[in-house]
Structure 1
Amino acid sequence: MSFRGFTSEALKFLFENKINNSKDWYDNHKHIYKQYVYNPFVQLITELTPTMTEIDSQFLTIPSKLISRVRRDTRFSKDKSLYRDNAWFVFLRNKSLMSSSPCFWFEISQKGSSYGVGYYGAQACSMFAMREMICRSHPAFLSALECYESQDTFVIGGEMYKRSKFPDQSENLRSWLDRKNIYFECAQNDFSLAFSKELPGILKKGFVSVKPIYDFLCAVESTQAQS
Structure 2
Amino acid sequence: MAATTYFTPASLKLMREFARNNNREWFTANKARWEAVVRDPFLHLIGDLATPLAKISKHYRADPRPHGGSMFRIYRDTRFANDKTPYKTWLGARLAHERAKQVPAPSFYMHVQPGDSFVGGGLWHPEPPTLNRVREFLVDNPAAWKKAVHNARFRTAFTIGGDSLTRPPRGYDAQHELIDDIKRKDFAAWRGIDDKVVCSSELRDAVVDGFKGVAPMLDYLCAALDLEF
Same fold (TM over 0.5): yes
The answer to whether structure 1 residue 196 and structure 2 residue 200 are counterparts is yes
Counterpart-to-counterpart distance in 2, 1:136 and 1:220: 10
- Runs of 4+ in structure 1 off by over 6 angstroms are none
Counterpart-to-counterpart distance in 2, 1:53 and 1:36: 27
Q: Report the equivalent of 2:71.
A: 67
The answer to whether structure 1 residue 11 and structure 2 residue 12 are counterparts is yes
Deviations 1:111-166 (A, max 9, x none): 321110112321121111111111112xxx64343122332211211111112344
Whether the 8 Å contact between 1:21 and 1:82 is mirrored in structure 2 is yes
Residue correspondence of structure 1 range 69-218 to structure 2 within 5 A: 69-93=73-97, 101-137=105-141, 142-150=143-151, 151=153, 152-165=156-169, 166-170=173-177, 173-188=178-193, 190-218=194-222
SS at 2:33 equivalent: helix
Whether the 8 Å contact between 2:50 and 2:63 is mirrored in structure 1 is no
Shift of 1:18: 4.0
Whether the 8 Å contact between 2:148 and 2:220 is mirrored in structure 1 is no
Counterpart-to-counterpart distance in 2, 1:96 and 1:219: 14
Paired residues, number? 216
Counterpart-to-counterpart distance in 1, 2:223 and 2:133: 10
Q: Give the aligned residue type for 1:195.
A: C
Out of 119-128 and 161-170, give the one that drifted further.
161-170
TM-score (norm 2): 0.82
Whether the 8 Å contact between 1:2 and 1:43 is mirrored in structure 2 is no
Shift of 1:91: 0.4
TM-score (norm 1): 0.82
**Greater helix share, 1 or 2?**
1
Deviations 1:197-226 (A, max 9, x none): 112112212212332211221223338xxx
Deviations 1:68-120 (A, max 9, x none): 2222122332221111221111100369759x631111112233211101123
Whether the 8 Å contact between 1:17 and 1:83 is mirrored in structure 2 is no
SS at 1:127 equivalent: helix
SS at 2:126 equivalent: coil
Shift of 1:5: 4.1
Counterpart-to-counterpart distance in 1, 2:180 and 2:101: 25
Structure 1 alignment gaps of length 5 or more: none
